[in-house]
Amino acid sequence: MQLSRVALPSTVVLLLLAAAPSWAQLPEGKGREQVMKVCIGCHEVERSVSLRQDRNGWQTTLAKMVGLGMKSPDDELVLILDYLVEHFPAGEVPPVNINKASAIQLESGLSLLRSQAAKLIAYRKKNGDFRSIEDLKKVPGIDLEKIESKQDRIVF
């Protein structure tokens, strides 16, 4: 059978195309397959691993995901935990360029909710670059306490 003659349902083709870049972002290692199987079902890879955490942090995240309905045998959860700890460890959080950051960078770097990151980006697109923390305070619906507490991580 020639590969070019194999007809795949369009939804399968779309899923394969959508997943290919995500899989490429994960480093090789024991547990990678389980991460792809379990985490990518609900999140794009960048969102899944954007939080750099220590073992306790990743354990808490996995417990939260299980509480939200993630299904995986305990032995696979151990592989996933070990993989995340090894390849996405806690470390110094890099500064966030508030005028160029993506939604995921705003969420992970400043601990903003997804909706708040979207509001910040929409405001930035409409009004131009931010020049100060005072400019950020003008964005409706943003958690000002988080912005002020993370201002040492924000660059303009």
Q: What is the pLDDT of residues 133-154, one digit of tens each?
A: 999 999 999 988 888 888 888 9
Do the beta carbons of residue 147 and residue 136 sit within 8 Å?
Answer: yes
What SS3 class is residue 97? strand
pLDDT of residue 1: 32
Distance of CA 42 to the CA centre of its chain: 11
pLDDT of residue 96: 92
> Token pair 């899923």 is at which residue?
15
In whole angstroms, what is the distance from residue 134 CA to residue 52 CA? Answer: 28
Amino acid symbol at 21: P
In whole angstroms, what is the distance from residue 124 CA to residue 28 CA? Answer: 37
111 pLDDT above the threshold of 60 = yes
Q: What are 38-84's pLDDT values in tens digits?
A: 887 787 777 777 777 888 888 988 998 899 899 999 999 999 999 99
